[in-house]
Amino acid sequence: MITLLIIGIVAAITIPTIVQDIRNRTLQAALKKEYSVIQEAFGMYQARHYGEKLKPAQIGNQALKSEIMDFFAVIKDCDFGSNYNTTLENPCVKNSERIYKTLDGKNASMNYLDDGQFILKDGSMIFLENVITGRVYISVDVNGYIKGPNIWGVDLFTFQLMSDGRILPMGAEGTDYADETLYCSKRLNSSYYNGIGCTAKALKDKNYFSDLK
């Protein structure tokens, strides 16, 4: 009985850690995969257009979706979301209030997620931002919105299409949200985009996901 009790105590201590470690590894692998998927889609666009890269300055208002969606393995077109911070009113996410949180636990702004969405065959979900000329963001929920935790910087990550056609992880030097203290911080702050700038760090820091505990 004493042996069983000891085994039970050890299991209670170690199993949650193992489960968390598996989740972290899964999210890290999924992020790397989706970055590759996004780059491949834009690469296929370039190949079809005789080597011409897609650049923000040449993309019309909310036109990115029609330009790029065919180069992804899409299983469901989610149309466009609402324009404000309340809901994503589309065929995929119906009447779901503020389904994403910031890294410090607040309701995240949905403004950068509402210019086209679609679900991929691997279960991930793509969100586009393409309203202001010259500013194009591609966000991906690497495990789909149905699975949690639905937090920017944990399973939702954002990339930026740069003026030269490169796709950089948000938070990298030169991207719009590179200030880590505001946009990749677990400390409470006033930004409704806290977590948007974590993508670069999540890709290069091998301890990023384990440090989120």
What are the pLDDT digits (tens) for 116-139? 999 999 999 999 999 887 899 999
Percent above pLDDT 70 for the chain: 81
Percent above pLDDT 90 for the chain: 60
* pLDDT tier, 109 (very low <50, low <70, confident <90, very high otherwise): confident
Nearest CA to 193 out of 83, 106, 82 is that of 106
The total of structural domains in the chain comes to: 1
What pLDDT is recorded for position 11? 43
List of E strands, the chain: 74-77, 117-120, 125-129, 137-141, 156-161, 167-169
Q: What is the pTM of this model?
A: 0.88
Nearest CA to 141 out of 95, 86, 81 is that of 81
Question: At 110, is the secondary structure helix, strand, or coil?
Answer: coil
Average pLDDT over all residues of the chain: 85
Domain span at residue 42?
2-212
Round to whole Å and give the CA distance between 61 and 90.
Answer: 19
What pLDDT is recorded for position 199? 98
Contact 193, 152 (CB under 8 A): yes
Compute how many other C-beta atoms are within 10 angstroms of the C-beta atom of residue 46.
15
pLDDT of residue 3 exceeding 70, the answer is no
What pLDDT is recorded for position 180? 93
Q: Nearest-5° angle of CA 6, CA 12, CA 18?
A: 125
* Residue whose structure tokens are 């003026």: 163
